[in-house]
């Protein structure tokens, strides 16, 4: 199994509070991604990183920010959590962005905003 | 833009039944196609892939053939087992759009009963 650790695995937070989710990898892969999974929507890309301090927006980036200060860590921050951000969040990594490249996924973080 | 459409679930089958999960895509250029599987409580993992027309991906008894003429990548298995119960996601990477992020379908939940 690819070495991807997400923390925390579960979190309940109140509306309006900041939340940071962490993704840690031991594979030294260049590319890292944050997705959210919601019923009826599959997985949607929030942000991704193509190197240290290099990030870009995905399909559903509003309300989220990311940072990558080290190759192994990719942080997702909800500056002011809302109930619509209740979801399961997955981190993924890939070695390259070639067409046949496999992405490896973490086990997910279940976030509930009350 | 890119999109993936897969059959709505849930799908419930008896053990040893034949499985088909339909997947069609819309993309410019020449996408690579993937099936990912998510077992309960886990992240996604790659099941199989195909990178060009008429390629057949196969793994663990599952197969899918890249059909460019029908823009399809249907997943099949001849005899399902209880352990195949999971959510299956069809996905693509499109090399023609200058972006290599995975685009996922909404997922199809499969339940196999003894």
Which of residues 11 through 30 in chain A touch B, CB cutoff 8 A? none
Q: Which residues of B touch A60 (CB under 8 A)?
A: none
Instruction: Band the pLDDT of B30: cuts 50, 70, 90.
Output: confident
C-alpha distance from A79 to closest chain B C-alpha (Å): 25
Q: Which residue has the tokens 């509003």?
A: A62
Query: Both tokens of residue B82?
Result: 């209880």
Instruction: Band the pLDDT of A40: cuts 50, 70, 90.
Output: confident
CB contact under 8 A, B31 and A99: yes
Q: Which residues of A touch B104 (CB under 8 A)?
A: 42-44
Question: Residues B108-113: what's their mean pLDDT?
Answer: 96
> Which pLDDT value is given to residue A1?
60
Helix (H) or strand (E) holding B32: strand B32-38
> Which pLDDT value is given to residue B94?
76
Give the CA radius of gyration of chain A. Answer: 13
Interface check A89 vs B, CB under 8 A: no
Contact B108, B8 (CB under 8 A): yes
B71 φψ region: left (φ > 0), alpha (ψ -120 to 50), beta (else): left
CB contact under 8 A, B49 and A45: no
The Cα A30–Cα A91 span in angstroms is 13
Interface check A43 vs B, CB under 8 A: yes
Instruction: Band the pLDDT of B28: cuts 50, 70, 90.
Output: confident
pLDDT digits (tens, 9 = 90+) for B59-86: 999 999 999 999 999 999 999 999 999 9
> Which pLDDT value is given to residue A44?
92
Q: Which of A40, A100, A108 sits opposite B43 (nearest CB)?
A: A108
Contact A37, A88 (CB under 8 A): yes
Query: Both tokens of residue B56?
Result: 């057949």
Interface check A33 vs B, CB under 8 A: yes
Residue B111 DSSP SS3: strand
The Cα B109–Cα B34 span in angstroms is 17
> Which pLDDT value is given to residue A102?
87
pLDDT digits (tens, 9 = 90+) for A48-106: 999 999 999 998 999 999 999 999 999 999 999 999 999 999 999 998 877 778 899 99
> Which pLDDT value is given to residue B101?
74
The Cα A64–Cα A62 span in angstroms is 6
DSSP structural state of residue B67: B
B60 φψ region: left (φ > 0), alpha (ψ -120 to 50), beta (else): left
Interface check B57 vs A, CB under 8 A: no
Mean pLDDT rounded to a whole number for chain B: 92
């Amino acid at each position: 199994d690819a070495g991807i650790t997400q923390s925390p695995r579960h979190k309940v937070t109140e509306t309006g509070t900041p939340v940071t989710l962490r993704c840690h990898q031991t594979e030294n892969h260049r590319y890292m991604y944050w997705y959210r999974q919601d019923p009826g929507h599959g997985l949607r890309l929030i942000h991704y990183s193509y190197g240290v301090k290099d990030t870009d927006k995905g399909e559903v980036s509003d309300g989220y920010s990311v940072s990558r200060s080290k190759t192994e860590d990719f942080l997702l921050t909800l500056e002011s959590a809302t109930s619509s951000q209740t979801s399961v969040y997955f981190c993924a990594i890939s070695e390259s962005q070639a067409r046949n490249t496999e992405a490896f996924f973490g086990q997910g973080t279940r976030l509930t905003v009350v | 833009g890119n999109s993936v459409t897969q059959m709505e679930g849930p799908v419930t089958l008896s053990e040893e039944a034949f499985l088909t999960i339909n997947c069609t895509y819309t993309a410019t250029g020449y996408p690579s196609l993937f099936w990912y599987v998510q077992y309960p409580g886990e992240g996604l993992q790659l099941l199989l892939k195909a990178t060009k027309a008429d390629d057949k991906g196969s793994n663990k008894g599952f197969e899918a053939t890249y059909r460019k003429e029908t823009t399809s990548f249907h997943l099949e298995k001849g005899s399902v087992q209880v352990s195949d119960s999971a959510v299956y996601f069809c996905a693509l990477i499109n090399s023609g759009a200058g972006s290599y992020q995975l685009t996922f379908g909404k997922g199809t939940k499969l339940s196999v009963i003894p």
